[in-house]
Amino acid sequence: MAEKDNKIQEEEVLNEQTPATETETEMAIEENGDFEELKQQLEESRNKYLYLYSDFENFKRHAAKERMELIQTAGRDILSALLPILDDFDRAEKNDALTEGTSLIHQKLVNLLKSKGLVALGTKAGDEFNADLHEAVAEVPAPDDAMKGRIVDILEPGYTLADRIIRYAKVVVGK
């Protein structure tokens, strides 16, 4: 009887080690197909993640750039509103109508605006007219041929704030 039990156990072990039947083979192939499908889905998910991560990094970079530009030009409106006052001071100074006190106030205003990042364009009479920097208010006959297409007079200087023009220089051009 022990011999009979041993034979039964040997048969069971052999059955476990024998090659799979056709249905088991088909199931294994289906599982491999599922594996390939899962592998493909994993790759697609990985690609979507990488694209989203890249988009997010681009968004962060863009937002940081916009934030820096906003900080640099935050005072643009107030500085633009102060420019006519500065122009009045400049005109009064040209006509020697400033007293010592108002001259000091003018200098303080100029220094304050410079400290906030306001920079004059530095346009001078005789410079060549540049539509990217200047606004031609009038054209007058040029005193000589060398002044044709050049700035004859500056009515209001131009200014930049953080390398952006906030006001173009208003000039008279020779024709």
Domain annotation covers residue 19: no
* Regions of the chain short of the pLDDT cut 70: 1-33
Assess if residue 85 is contained within a domain.
yes
Statement to judge: residues 64 and 84 lie in one domain:
no
The model's pTM is: 0.56
Q: How many domains does the chain have?
A: 2
Residue ending a domain, among 53, 72, 91, is: 72
Residues 155 and 138 in one domain: yes
Sequence-distant (≥ 6) Cβ neighbours of residue 141 within 8 angstroms: 174, 175
Q: What is the pLDDT of residue 34?
A: 81
Residues 80 and 146 in one domain: yes
- Per-residue pLDDT of 99-109, as tens digits, reads 877 888 888 88
pLDDT digits (tens, 9 = 90+) for 154-167: 999 999 988 889 99
Same domain? For 83 and 165 the reply is: yes
